[in-house]
């Protein structure tokens, strides 16, 4: 048998507004702290940061070599596969092969934004042997195709600046409108 007691009834609008404030504060925290180094690398040691810098340096040097993979990176770093996998997984949350693929795709994204060449040229330039696999991997990471990235750059109008409204502000405005403020 449930106990109802002498519990007073809460005003639903008041409850919704307090929940909205809680939600907005959480979104503001996430927006301000998610992309900061302190938030993402709080548990990383200087050795881990140095390892990431060395990995990035080796990947940058061999970006166009399609055969440069995990085994070649291990040889360059001089550490075991298990050790590298454990440290990369702890630092970035990604496996070694995923880290290498995403590094190449981020470089390709920069090149596409700067209109360096065609999608196929960029795919080969960042070490993909197949432009179709490159497009598939790119779309999986960025949700849009490499061609759409080039198209977005071609259609961009430099005279009009897009205002970027932070997500938390947009949600706060929606709640304020909903609550009638």
- The secondary element (H helix, E strand) that includes residue 104 is helix 96-113
Question: Which has the minimum average pLDDT: 29-43, 109-123, 141-155?
Answer: 29-43
Round to whole Å and give the CA distance between 46 and 36: 17
Question: Which has the minimum average pLDDT: 19-23, 38-42, 119-123?
Answer: 38-42
Q: Average pLDDT for residues 158-181, to the nearest whole number?
A: 60
CB atoms within 10 A of CB 31: 13
- What burial letters (b/e) apply to 10-21, b meaning 16+ CB within 10 Å? eeeeeeebeebe
Q: What is the pTM of this model?
A: 0.62
Domain residue extents for the chain: 43-155
Q: What fold does the segment set 43-155 form as a domain? A: Arc Repressor Mutant, subunit A (1.10.10)
pLDDT at 40: 42
pLDDT at 165: 55
């Amino acid at each position: 048998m449930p106990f109802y007691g002498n519990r007073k009834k809460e005003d639903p609008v008041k409850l919704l507004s307090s929940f909205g404030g809680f939600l907005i504060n959480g979104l503001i925290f996430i927006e301000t702290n998610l992309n900061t180094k302190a938030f993402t690398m709080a548990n990383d040691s200087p050795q881990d940061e140095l390892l990431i810098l060395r990995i990035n340096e080796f990947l940058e040097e061999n970006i166009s070599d399609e055969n440069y993979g995990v085994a070649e990176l291990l040889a360059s770093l001089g550490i075991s596969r298990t050790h590298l996998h454990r440290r990369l997984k702890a630092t970035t949350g990604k496996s070694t092969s995923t880290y290498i693929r995403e590094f190449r795709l981020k470089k390709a994204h920069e090149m596409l934004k700067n209109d360096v060449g065609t999608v196929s040229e960029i795919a080969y330039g960042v070490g993909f042997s197949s432009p179709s696999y490159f497009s598939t991997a790119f779309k999986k990471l960025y949700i849009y195709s490499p061609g759409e990235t080039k198209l977005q750059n071609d259609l961009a109008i430099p005279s009009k600046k897009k205002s970027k409204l932070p997500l938390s502000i947009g949600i706060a405005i929606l709640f304020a409108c909903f609550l009638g403020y």
